[in-house]
Amino acid sequence: MSAPRILVVRFAAIGDCVMAAWAATALRRQFPEAFIGWAVQREPVPVLAVPDLVNEVVVFDRRRWKNMSGPAAFREQWAQWMRLRQLNFDVGFDFQGHSKTALALRLSGAKRRISTRATDALARTLNPPAALAGDVTHEVDRAMAAARLISPLETPERPIMPNLDAEVAAFRAEFPGRLITIQTGATESVKRFAPEKWAEVAAGLVAPGTQIVAVGGPGDPEIPHDQVINRVGAYDLRTSMALVAASHLHVAADTGTGHMAAAYGVPVVSVFSKNRPERFRPYTTQGRIIHGGMRADDSDPADVIHAAQELLEETCASSS
Do 309 and 240 lie in one domain? The reply is yes
3-class state of residue 57 by DSSP: strand
Q: Domain range spanning residue 20?
A: 5-147
d(CA 109, CA 82) in angstroms, rounded, equals 9
Helix (H) or strand (E) holding 7, with range, is strand 5-9
CB atoms closer than 10 angstroms to residue 313: 10
Q: Is residue 284 a part of any domain in this protein?
A: yes
Do 302 and 223 lie in one domain? The reply is yes
Number of structural domains, the chain?
A: 2
CB 64 within 8 A of CB 70: no
Q: Is residue 132 a part of any domain in this protein?
A: yes
Do 132 and 170 lie in one domain? The reply is no
Respond yes or no on whether the N-terminal peptide bond of residue 169 is cis (omega within 30° of 0). no
The tens digit of pLDDT for each residue in 218-233 reads 999 999 999 999 999 9
3-class state of residue 200 by DSSP: helix
Distance in angstroms between the alpha carbons of the first and the last residue of the chain: 44
Do 204 and 314 lie in one domain? The reply is yes
The mean pLDDT value of the chain amounts to 96
Of 148 and 71, which is predicted with more confidence? Answer: 148
Q: Is residue 160 a part of any domain in this protein?
A: no
Do 136 and 175 lie in one domain? The reply is no
Q: Is residue 142 a part of any domain in this protein?
A: yes
CB 150 within 8 A of CB 1: yes
Q: Is residue 155 a part of any domain in this protein?
A: no
Do 226 and 294 lie in one domain? The reply is yes
Residue 25, pLDDT above cutoff 70: yes
Q: Is residue 113 a part of any domain in this protein?
A: yes
Do 214 and 279 lie in one domain? The reply is yes
Of 158, 143, 137, 180, nearest in space to 262 by CA: 158
The tens digit of pLDDT for each residue in 77-113 reads 999 999 999 999 999 999 999 999 999 999 999 999 9
Of 222, 232, 220, 235, nearest in space to 170 by CA: 235
The CATH number covering residue 207 comes to 3.40.50.2000
Global pTM reads 0.96
**Alpha carbon of 194 to those of 89, 93, 200, 238, 259: distances in Å?**
46, 38, 10, 25, 21
Give the end of a domain, one of 147, 175, 197: 147
Q: Is residue 152 a part of any domain in this protein?
A: no
Do 174 and 314 lie in one domain? The reply is yes
Give the end of a domain, one of 91, 115, 147: 147
Do 132 and 76 lie in one domain? The reply is yes
Phi, psi of 76 (to 5 degrees): -65, -40
